[in-house]
A and B are shown apart, each in its own frame.
Chain A
Amino acid sequence: MNIENVTISSNEEIAMNIWRMSMSAPKIAAAYIGPGQFINILPNDNWEHPIRRPMSIASVKGDRVEIIYKIFGNMTEKLSRKNVGNTMNILGPLGNVFTDWDKKEVEPILIGGGVGLAPILNVYESCRNPIMIIGARTASEHFMKHDPKNNIYLATDDGSMGIAGNVLKAMDEVNVNKNSIIYACGPEPMLHALQSHANDKNIRAQLSVESYMGCGVGLCQGCVINRKNGHVQKHSYHEKYSLVCLDGPVYESSEVTFG
């Protein structure tokens, strides 16, 4: 892991309130190990906002690291006002990765919702013809085309594009078999529902969870999630809770409990 002052090479709105930012981050790009990892961003170097913001990596190409973020607060709004050439201090890459999506026999079902697009698109770019489902509230929040022929399913809560309903509704449209593995990132209620769904269908699911983080490196012990199996990990010491920053952000759905 590195702390690096990176230079922003692009920052643009790709759908309503959804932005894609690319930055030149050679050290972080060199240390990156795969989809699922995140970086911890410091949009401003003053101390009005002391804490970094964790953001999933959407892609790494050469020394370029890309994120996709949704404006939902003061900090992400500030991020959207960054210009090409501006610098930012970044800590990363952090966290673990999605696994087994590159295995021949595995048929990945990639599911992203809300702000949880980045790591899903990251897996998508590396996968051979996976199924991908992206959920949003309304059509203007989508930047891709609903294209079931190519296994891209878009869902909207208000039915203004693609499948009307949430990502679970879209799951009805796709074939699930014993080789399917769900890879998902999104708001907790979505992950919770997918966990139950995977359990019902008896398939594996890997969930990238969101968590408020104080540091991203295991010092503050703030970003805990409930463990299901009581397995003691090297870093977070405890049986009941797991530190998302060190043990996650990707968990097998059988490892954690929500709510």
Chain B
Amino acid sequence: MANLSVNIGSTTFKNPIFVASGTFGYGTENPELVDISKLGAIVTKSITLNPREGNPPPRIVETSSGMINSIGLANIGVEKYISNMLPVYEEMDTPIIMNIAGSSMTEYMDIMKKVEAVSSSIVGYEINISCPNVKEGGMEFGVDCAMTEKLTGKLRKLTDRLLIMKLSPNVTDIAAIATSSENGGANAVSAINTVVGMSINHRSRFSDIYTTFGGLSGPAIKPVGLACVHKVYNAVNIPIIGIGGIVNSTDVIEYFLAGSCSVQVGTANFRNPGITEIILNELNNYLDEKGIDSISSLIGSVKTHD
């Protein structure tokens, strides 16, 4: 069997298949449908300083080969995350990466300080600077190089755990934001968050989503994700976690070729919460059939025509 383990910073993950933030709840929800011990890591849903109810419905709609969501960062807030979730994670074998969202530099820092102040087994943080659906979603950071570098630097000082900046595709130059993250001291970047999208019902003439715009995800955005990962790969030396429309093992391989060192499965969990296990089995078979000893050997090895 091929070696599936991957390294990010000083952390080794047993395999590169993670579940993406906002698509797997707090990681404790579906014991009947998925064996979470098989996962490389769980990225938990975005946590804000205060609990958030989220956006009014309708929050989701299917589009061609994808879906648009505007959940609005509904979450229990950091205090309850610490009291209710962290103890549960102690009992789990799966590495937990906590996703954080904030509306100001102070808010991101306050959340991290609170979590760092208690003992826990979480392996790191993914910083959401790219939620398109709420004013408080951090987008003002994710589109600005100087802000990204400053935020990354401030958070870097607060933790020795993994610090991963989650990048938005809704920017002019994603490679520049990735470089700012690297300069600020991030261990890795994850790309991409959802693509701003809109869906309209021609009969009712209403937007299908309450907030008019939402985040497009699913196979429809895989080409955008691959392009972003490859641009970032050409710009930085830190690992990239590829996200966007991954539903099977060949998608994983393509993301590795583009430059990813691991991937996150998102929307596909909605269709089958156990899909990551299927992808992992497929991936093992694929690597064995091709005689590839280590998945890491594929990182960035796409052949281009220039």
Contacts and interface: CB of A to CB of B under 8 A. Distances in A.
A247 to B, nearest CB: 14
A47 B219 contact: yes
Contacts of B76: 237
A239 interface: yes
Nearest to A220: B270
Most chain B Cβ neighbours within 10 Å, of A2, A47, A50, A217: A50
Contacts of A145: none
Contact of B54 (A211, A218, A224): A224
Contacts of B60: 212-214, 220, 222-223
Interface string A223-239: 11110000000010111
A151 B230 CA distance: 67
Nearest to B69: A222
B65 A3 contact: no
Contacts of A52: 270-271
Interface residues of B, number: 39
Contacts of A213: 60
B71 A219 contact: no
A177 to B, nearest CB: 35
Interface string A183-223: 00000000000000000000000000001111101111111
Interface stretch (B29-37, B104-112, B231-239): B29-37
B22 to A, nearest CB: 8
B23 A51 contact: no
A222 B217 CA distance: 14
B218 A217 contact: no
Interface centre among B65, B247, B273, B274 (most CB of A within 10 A): B273
B54 A238 contact: yes
B268 interface: yes
A50 B57 contact: no
Measured as residues with beta carbon below 8 angstroms from the partner, the interface class of chain A is 20 to 34
Contact of A215 (B45, B51, B58, B269): B269
Nearest to A1: B32
A217 B218 CA distance: 18
Contacts of A212: 57-61
B42 to A, nearest CB: 12
B273 A215 contact: yes
B71 A220 contact: yes
Interface string B192-213: 0000000000000000000000
A105 interface: no
A181 B69 CA distance: 36
A219 B273 contact: yes
B272 interface: yes
B272 A50 contact: no
Given A47-B218, A47-B247, A50-B67, A217 B271 contact: no
Nearest to B53: A240
A219 B269 contact: yes
Contact of B270 (A3, A215, A237): A215
Contacts of A240: 53
A118 B66 CA distance: 29
Contacts of A238: 51, 53-54, 74
A50 B58 contact: no
Contacts of A48: 64-65
A241 interface: yes
B62 interface: yes
A49 interface: yes
A219 B42 CA distance: 13
Contact of A222 (B51, B53, B71, B219): B71
B30 to A, nearest CB: 6
A3 B33 contact: yes
A51 B270 contact: yes
B33 A1 contact: yes
28 contacts: A1-B32, A3-B272, A50-B66, A50-B219, A51-B62, A52-B270, A212-B60, A214-B60, A214-B69, A214-B270, A217-B29, A217-B273, A220-B23, A221-B22, A221-B25, A221-B45, A221-B54, A221-B71, A221-B74, A222-B57, A223-B57, A223-B59, A223-B60, A226-B56, A237-B76, A238-B54, A241-B57, A241-B74
Given A2-B32, A222-B59, 12 more contacts: A48-B65, A50-B219, A212-B57, A212-B59, A217-B30, A217-B33, A217-B273, A218-B25, A220-B69, A226-B56, A238-B74, A241-B54
Interface of B: 22-25, 29-30, 32-33, 45, 51, 53-54, 56-62, 64-67, 69, 71, 74-76, 218-219, 247, 267-274
Interface of A: 1-3, 42, 47-52, 91, 211-215, 217-226, 235, 237-241
Q: Which 7 A-B pairs have the closest CB atoms?
A: A222-B60, A215-B270, A240-B53, A51-B62, A222-B59, A214-B60, A47-B219
